[in-house]
């Protein structure tokens, strides 16, 4: 991928992680070509149990707590005309499950068979397995489309937004969260920024480049904030110890004394939450 997804400009190599940056619009992407099938294979069971997440279902309480926060923000923009919600990249359905009470209908799609089976069978959600670009929507329209921490995983985000735009009436809402590679934290951390993660993370937006892409797909930005996440304190200690923390006995002691439901809210001001309205 040598041409910029946002503006078609040419990218020049960054000095880390095999990334390219567009001088014209500030967008950054992973300079690799990867087949759609290979992308889908990244998101099967091991992604949620061992690779990216240690155990997605065990983390359900904290994931739901984070989705509750995102739903609270989204609801500030919801009116009675926003009735049908669709989530691209719905994983195990925890967001849809939280949102179902606020909308007349909620639907989702994900490439992970394991996740979709859970969302469908355990949560009774209307979800399908596959790639949104190939999904037959049969003329359906949606008033709210959400991509939570998903757009950075897509090989061709513009085509996803265009497809969404085509089935969203004027006044409908698009909600997106993704890292901001133009944030202070990302600029300080450079190649060590925790969200630099090819080949799962292929696109790295800035506030400017994501705004430009959305505007080019028929949206106008109505809200931008930088959102944090709740993390389990025990989970953070566990990660530190497994990364070879220099005080393993302190870690073992903390794992005994820290209550399992003690969470810390972490906001490094580098995750954008954007709400855009279909023009
Ligand atoms: Zn560009």
Domains in the chain, start-ordered, CATH in brackets?
A: 36-229+269-278 (3.40.50.150)
Give the distance (Å) from ligand 1 centre to CA of residue 215.
14
Give the distance (Å) from ligand 1 centre to CA of residue 204.
11
Give the distance (Å) from ligand 1 centre to CA of residue 197.
20
Give the distance (Å) from ligand 1 centre to CA of residue 22.
5
Give the distance (Å) from ligand 1 centre to CA of residue 270.
20
Q: Which residues contact 127 (CB under 8 A, 6 or more apart)?
A: 90, 93, 96, 107, 108, 109, 110, 116, 119, 120
98-136: string of b/e by CB count within 10 Å (b at 16+)? bbbeebeebbbbbbbebbbebbbeeeebebebebbeeee
Give the distance (Å) from ligand 1 centre to CA of residue 51.
31
Give the distance (Å) from ligand 1 centre to CA of residue 26.
6
Terminal alpha carbon distance of the chain? 30
Give the distance (Å) from ligand 1 centre to CA of residue 175.
22
Question: In the prediction, which pLDDT does 57 show?
Answer: 83
Question: In the prediction, which pLDDT does 242 show?
Answer: 79
Question: In the prediction, which pLDDT does 168 show?
Answer: 98
Q: Name the token pair of 61.
A: 């309480």
Give the distance (Å) from ligand 1 centre to CA of residue 154.
16
Question: In the prediction, which pLDDT does 230 show?
Answer: 95
Question: In the prediction, which pLDDT does 50 show?
Answer: 72
Question: In the prediction, which pLDDT does 271 show?
Answer: 98
Question: In the prediction, which pLDDT does 95 show?
Answer: 98
Question: In the prediction, which pLDDT does 273 show?
Answer: 98
Give the distance (Å) from ligand 1 centre to CA of residue 9.
5
Give the distance (Å) from ligand 1 centre to CA of residue 52.
29
DSSP for the chain, written as a single string: --B-TTT--BEEE-SSTTEEEETTT--EEE-----HHHHHHHTSHHIIIIIS-S-TTTTHHHHHHHHHHHHHHHHTT--TT--EEEEES-TTSHHHHHHGGGSSEEEEEES-HHHHHHHHHTT--EEEES-GGG---TT---SEEEEES-GGG-S-HHHHHHHHHHT--TT-EEEEEEE-TTSHHHHHHGGG-TT--TTT--EE--HHHHHHHHHHTTEEEEEEEE--EEEEHHHHHHHHHHTT-S-HHHHHHHHHHS-TT-EEEE--S-EEEEEEEE-
Give the distance (Å) from ligand 1 centre to CA of residue 1.
12
Residue-wise pLDDT tens for the chain (279 aa)?
779 999 999 999 988 778 999 999 999 999 887 788 888 888 888 888 877 776 788 889 999 999 999 999 999 999 999 999 999 999 999 999 999 999 999 999 999 999 999 999 999 999 999 999 999 988 999 999 999 999 999 999 999 999 999 999 999 999 999 999 999 999 999 999 999 988 899 999 999 999 999 999 999 999 999 999 999 888 888 888 877 888 888 988 998 999 988 999 999 999 999 999 999
């Amino acid at each position: 991928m040598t041409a910029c997804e946002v503006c078609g400009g040419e990218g020049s190599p960054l000095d880390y992680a095999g990334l390219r940056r567009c001088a014209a619009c500030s967008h950054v992407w992973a300079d690799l070509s990867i087949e759609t099938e290979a992308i889908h294979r990244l998101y099967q069971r091991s992604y949620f149990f061992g690779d990216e997440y240690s155990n997605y279902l065990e983390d359900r309480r904290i994931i739901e707590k984070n989705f509750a926060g995102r739903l609270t923000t989204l609801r500030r923009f919801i009116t009675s005309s926003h009735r049908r919600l669709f989530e691209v990249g719905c994983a195990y359905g925890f967001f849809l499950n939280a949102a179902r009470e606020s909308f007349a209908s909620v639907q989702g799609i994900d490439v992970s068979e394991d996740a979709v089976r859970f969302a469908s069978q355990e949560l009774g959600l209307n979800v399908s397995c596959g790639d949104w670009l190939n999904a037959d929507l049969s003329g359906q329209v949606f008033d709210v489309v959400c991509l939570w921490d998903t757009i950075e995983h897509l090989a061709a985000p513009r085509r996803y937004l265009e497809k969404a735009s085509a089935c969203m009436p004027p006044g409908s809402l698009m909600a997106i969260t993704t890292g901001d590679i133009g944030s202070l934290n990302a600029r300080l951390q450079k190649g060590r920024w925790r969200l630099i993660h090819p080949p799962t993370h292929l696109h790295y937006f800035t506030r400017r480049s994501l705004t430009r892409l959305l505007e080019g797909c028929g949206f106008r930005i109505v809200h931008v904030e930088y959102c944090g996440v709740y993390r389990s304190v025990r989970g953070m200690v566990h990660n530190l110890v497994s990364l070879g923390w220099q005080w393993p006995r302190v870690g073992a002691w903390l794992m005994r004394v820290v209550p399992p439901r003690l969470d810390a809210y972490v906001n490094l001001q580098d995750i954008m939450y954007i709400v855009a309205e279909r023009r």
